[in-house]
Amino acid sequence: MIVDCHTHINCPSSEIDATEHFDACGKVDAVIVLAVGRDNGLEASRELGEYVNKHPKLVGFASLNPHRDPIGVDDVKAATVDLGLKGIVLYCSGGKFHPTDSQAMRLYESAARLKLPLFFHNVSTYNSDSVLQYAQPLLLDEVARRFPALKMVIGSMGLPFLDQTICMLGKHENVYADLSISPQKKWEVYNIVVSAHEADVMDKLLFGSGYPIAKPDNCIETLLGFNMMLGDTNLPGVPREEIRSIIERDTLALLGITPP
C-alpha cells in the first residue's frame, strides 16, 4: 500500500483544483490532503471535507490555529470528525504561534482525547513574515512528552532543521516525519536519506510528495533510484529495501487512521 501523507489543493501560491489533485495522485492507494493555512481555517476545512468525502481514498486534515479557532473538545470535533476529517494540520511558523504556548497545548489535549493525529507543517518558514523560531522540531519535545499517545508528524523533515528532526524521531515513539522531497534537489535528498539511515530512524519516515510542489510518481522514481545518483563516487549508499519500505509504509495504520 502506498500512502502519500502530504498533499494540498488550492494553495495560496498555486491554485490547484480538486480535479488536478485527484488526477496527479491517481496511482497512489491513499492520499492525505492537508487544508491550507488561510485566515479562515474552518472554511478551508469545510471545503476540504466536501472534497475528500466524495473520494474514498482521500483522507483530510483540518487546519486549526489555536489563537484563531475554538479549541475545546466539542469545537475540535465539529471542525474535524463531524466534517469527515481525520487529523489536524498546524502552521506554527506561518500562524505565528509558539508550538507549546497554553492555547496550543489545550488544542493538543483536545486532539489527544479525540485520537486525532497532528501534522506540523512549516514549509512557510521561508516566507518573510513567518516566525522561523517556531518551526524548530525540538520545540515539539514537550508536546511529545506530555501526550505520548498522540501521533505527530513533522512535515518535510522539519527542514531547515534536519538534525533536530532526526533527534525527535529517535527520542519519541509517537513522532514521525514526512519525507516529502524535491526530486530536482539531489544533494538535499541524499543528505536527508543518509542522515536518517545512519541514525537508524528509517522506520519513522512517511512517504509524501508535498503536491503540488512535486507529484508522487516523480518522488517515488527519485527515491527508488537513490543509489544510482551516487554514480562512481565513494559516497555511502542506503539499502534499496529500506527506501522501498518508506514508500510502501502503511502510514494510516501508524497514525491510527481507519483506511478509506
Which of the two residues, 73 and 237, has the higher pLDDT score? Answer: 73
Q: Is the pLDDT of residue 139 over 90?
A: yes
The pLDDT value given to residue 42: 78
pLDDT tens digits, 69-90: 888 999 999 999 999 999 999 9
* 157 bridge partner residues: none
The pLDDT value given to residue 130: 86
The pLDDT value given to residue 22: 80
Q: Is the pLDDT of residue 236 over 80?
A: yes
pLDDT tier for residue 20 given thresholds of 50, 70 and 90: confident
Q: Is the pLDDT of residue 123 over 70?
A: no
Q: Are residues 169 and 201 in contact, defined by beta-carbon separation less than 8 angstroms?
A: yes
Q: Is the pLDDT of residue 181 over 60?
A: yes
Least confident range of 25-34, 93-102, 130-139, 157-166: 25-34
Calpha distance 13→51 (Å, rounded): 20
pLDDT tier for residue 206 given thresholds of 50, 70 and 90: very high
The pLDDT value given to residue 212: 86
Percent of the chain with pLDDT over 90: 60
Domains contained in the chain, CATH given: 3-254 (3.20.20.140)
Q: Is the pLDDT of residue 94 over 80?
A: yes
Q: Is the pLDDT of residue 14 over 70?
A: no
Short-list 141, 178, 182, 174, CA closest to 157? 178
First to last CA, the chain: 12
The pLDDT value given to residue 115: 97
Q: Is the pLDDT of residue 126 over 70?
A: no
The pLDDT value given to residue 73: 95
Which of the two residues, 79 and 41, has the higher pLDDT score? Answer: 79
pLDDT tens digits, 192-204: 999 999 999 999 9
The pLDDT value given to residue 127: 74
Angle between helices 186-198 and 216-224 (to 10 degrees): 60
Longest dimension (CA), the chain: 58
Q: Which distant-in-sequence residues (6+ apart) come within 8 Å of 142 by Cβ?
A: 100
State the average pLDDT over residues 202-221.
Answer: 92
DSSP state letter for 212: T
pTM, full prediction: 0.93
Q: Is the pLDDT of residue 33 over 90?
A: yes
pLDDT tier for residue 9 given thresholds of 50, 70 and 90: confident
Calpha distance 129→68 (Å, rounded): 18
pLDDT tier for residue 62 given thresholds of 50, 70 and 90: very high
Q: Are residues 146 and 108 in contact, defined by beta-carbon separation less than 8 angstroms?
A: yes
Short-list 231, 154, 153, CA closest to 190? 231
E strands within the chain?
Answer: 3-7, 30-34, 58-63, 87-90, 118-120, 152-154, 175-180, 205-208
